[in-house]
Amino acid sequence: MRRIAIFLCLLSSFLGVSAQAQVGNKPMRIIVPFAVGGASDTYTRLVAQKITEQTGKTIVVENRTGAGGRISFDYVAHAPADGLTVALIDATYAMLPGLFPVLPWDINTDLIPVVMIAQTPFIVLVGANAKFSSLAELVAAATAMPGKLNYGSAGVGSVNHIVTERFRSTANIDITHIPYKGMSEASVALLSDNVDLIIAASPTALGQIKSGKVRPLLVTTAARSPALPDVPTVAQAGIADFVVTNWFGFAVPKGTSKEAIDTLHDDVLRAVSSPDVREKLLSQGAEVSNFSTEQFARFVAAETQLWTEVTRANGIKIEP
């Protein structure tokens, strides 16, 4: 009997260790709210792969698209707070409260911003044959012909629609919005001279700029982009108080332990600091971040307040 008791004790101990090991080896899932191939997906996979190389951790990137990201964010907000389910958040996330007064999760408490991956500029683009080649010429043309110039976007309530409305109101110009079903359609409209300008994120725009198909007028960051050193910022061109970036980071459900948050934060910063990842990000106009978790949380809160004010001031609504 004594041998049986010892055996059972050892078996129980072994099973306990095995169970703990299994829990500890569960893969982390990063939920991306947009389709494969976009900047959010590309940056997530780049960082996830590097974390795996550096730590041996298994990370699965899962794309849950739909409802402008709300499906993905809601899913993670209600996931177990075990540090194994992470949301990719970006500028879209901060714009949702202004577009949707009621969300199925509390943006202030249910998802905790942990770490920023990078920020990229938006670029004000015109066609290669456009009659204006500077902000001053654009403003002059828009002032001379109120409502006659137009801009394309990926649709009502899209990131570039909201960013362009802020640009329009800050520049005090009257230009007409032409919504399309996505940025690919808006880009085609610019190439075919059906719209006068678009504002696009740098990963989307750089290829067409380098091919000479479009002309960059401005970047929206505080400093010039290393990827486009000859293109002035909006402030340098004459409009103060206009700094806008597209940004990408990770968030976790509320209740996630500080240890898990700190580990994720450190893993991501180590990944983006590696020379190969940094080089790939810089080649797309992205600049890596070294925000602390607290700094990133404050940044997201400020972005949410800003874009809520912009959407309401410009009457931007998405019809249900």
298 in Cβ contact with 289 (< 8 Å)? no
Q: Give me the architecture of the 121-237 domain, per CATH.
A: 3-Layer(aba) Sandwich (3.40)
118 in Cβ contact with 248 (< 8 Å)? yes
Counting as low any pLDDT under 70, the low residues of the chain are: 1-24, 320
Domain assignments of the chain as residue spans, ordered by start:
27-120+246-313, 121-237
- Predicted pLDDT of residue 176: 97
Residue pLDDT, tens place only, 81-98? 999 999 999 999 999 999
Tokens representing residue 53 in the block: 């190389």
Tokens representing residue 177 in the block: 């919005």
Name which of 183, 168, 237 is nearest 214 in CA terms: 183
- Cα angle for residues 45, 47, 53 (degrees, 5° grid): 100
pTM over 0.85? The answer is: yes
Do you know the residue count of the chain? 320
Tokens representing residue 149 in the block: 């110039």
Q: CATH for 27-120+246-313? A: 3.40.190.150
**What string of H, E and C letters represents the secondary structure of 108-157?**
CCCEEEEEEEEEEEEEEEEECCCCCCCHHHHHHHHHHCCCCCEEEECCCC
- Predicted pLDDT of residue 37: 87
Residue pLDDT, tens place only, 256-313? 999 999 999 999 999 999 999 999 999 889 999 899 999 999 999 999 999 999 999 9
Name which of 250, 247, 246, 290 is nearest 111 in CA terms: 250
Same fold, 27-120+246-313 and 121-237: yes
